[in-house]
């Protein structure tokens, strides 16, 4: 019984950690997606159904299920969290979980043979952990120790493992067979999966990270909702493009139809989207425009008289 209980707890712990890892990937993908929409980079060819997707009927069903779970459960909680939590606190939470993620980044950089980057990533973790109060403050960035994005799925890709079919997993969202295997690999490196972290603490941290991460996606998902596109195809194409760029350090081969030297934008710049809670907030800008268009005729008469 004890053995079964231990195995059950371990499975639950792994599921929690996989949730964190998935939201990190989803955050990067949707931020890039939103940036492409805003910059009009989401051209019509991206919506053409040219990607092999043998599991599309099942994927679409799961995609719709995930959308409903997010729309009616997770998104409202994320909105409430955002309204109730000061920006400085949310930034500290982002930094804290980012610092935890940097441990896996450093390990995967080493596995990919990027020894200099692995050393810099390790230095980043050390600086933010010691000087940055456990990672709450991002001191390393101010020291020009930039954050990278590496995971075990990318490591497998670097070593030639094919990505396999596109998958949409319940609750976890867009993946490939390779990235799904990578999630389990990263869960073994993830500090929160350590036996020194109790299940209770781990559960609370995972919940906080998921809600906080979803709050950062409010603007991106709102932009996606308002786009006159097939959401499933758009997410699929952008996720696959993003995933392939990560394996090639931000570049796609010419065969994919993308420029050879196309690089990912710095995710720190995309954090400007974090300022937008919802597209409704853009109405304030519209109101300003209306104020500029409104001219009091009497004021105009005074100017004319002057």
* CA trace torsion 72, 187, 177, 211 (10° rounding): 20
pLDDT of residue 164: 95
pLDDT of residue 91: 95
pLDDT of residue 27: 55
pLDDT of residue 113: 96
Domain locations in the chain? Answer: 2-305
Cα 110 from Cα 127, distance rounded (Å): 19
pLDDT of residue 218: 84
Residue 13 makes CB contacts below 8 A (sequence gap 6+) with 193, 199, 202
- The pair of structure tokens assigned to 302 is 């005074």
**Total-model pTM:** 0.72
Cα 306 from Cα 302, distance rounded (Å): 6
> Do 23 and 192 contact (CB within 8 A), yes or no?
no
Q: What is the pLDDT along the chain (306 residues), one digit of tens a residue?
A: 555 555 554 555 555 555 555 555 555 555 555 555 555 444 444 445 568 899 999 999 999 999 999 999 999 999 999 999 999 999 999 999 999 999 999 999 999 999 999 999 999 999 999 999 999 999 999 999 999 999 999 999 999 999 999 999 998 899 999 999 999 889 888 888 888 889 899 989 989 999 999 898 887 777 777 765 788 998 898 899 988 988 988 665 544 444 444 444 444 444 555 554 444 444 444 444 444 444 444 554 555 555
pLDDT of residue 155: 96
pLDDT of residue 196: 85
- The pair of structure tokens assigned to 57 is 């009927």
Smallest CA-to-CA distance from 213 within 23, 21, 15 is with 23
pLDDT of residue 21: 53
8-11 long-range contacts (CB < 8 A, ≥24 apart) are 9/199
Cα 236 from Cα 23, distance rounded (Å): 16
> Do 104 and 154 contact (CB within 8 A), yes or no?
no
pLDDT of residue 268: 47
173 DSSP β-pair partners:
169
């Amino acid at each position: 019984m004890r053995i079964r209980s231990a195995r059950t707890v371990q499975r639950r712990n792994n599921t929690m950690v996989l949730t964190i890892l998935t939201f990190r990937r989803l955050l990067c993908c949707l931020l890039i997606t939103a940036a492409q929409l805003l910059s009009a980079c989401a051209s019509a060819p991206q919506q053409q159904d040219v990607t092999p997707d043998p599991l599309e009927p099942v994927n679409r069903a799961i995609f719709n299920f995930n959308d409903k779970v997010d729309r009616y459960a997770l998104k409202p909680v994320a909105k409430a969290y955002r309204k109730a939590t000061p920006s400085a606190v949310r930034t500290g939470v982002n930094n804290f979980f980012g610092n935890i993620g940097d441990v896996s980044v450093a390990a995967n950089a080493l596995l990919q043979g990027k020894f200099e980057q692995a050393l810099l990533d390790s230095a980043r973790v050390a600086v933010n952990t010691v000087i940055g109060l456990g990672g709450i403050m991002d001191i390393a960035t101010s020291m020009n120790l930039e954050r990278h994005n590496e995971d075990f799925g990318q490591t497998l890709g670097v070593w030639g493992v094919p990505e396999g079919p596109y998958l949409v997993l319940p609750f976890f969202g867009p993946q490939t067979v390779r990235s799904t295997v990578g999630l389990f690999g990263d869960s073994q490196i993830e500090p929160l999966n350590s036996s020194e972290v109790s299940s209770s603490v781990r559960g609370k941290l995972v919940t906080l990270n998921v809600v906080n991460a979803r709050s950062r996606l409010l603007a991106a998902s709102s932009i996606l909702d308002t786009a006159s596109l097939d959401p499933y195809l758009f997410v699929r194409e952008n996720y696959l493009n993003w995933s392939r760029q990560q394996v090639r350090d931000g570049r796609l081969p010419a065969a994919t139809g993308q420029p050879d030297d196309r690089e990912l934008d710095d995710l720190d710049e995309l954090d400007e989207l974090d300022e937008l809670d919802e597209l409704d907030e853009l109405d304030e800008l519209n109101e300003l425009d209306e104020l500029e268009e409104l001219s009091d005729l009497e004021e105009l008469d005074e100017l004319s008289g002057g």
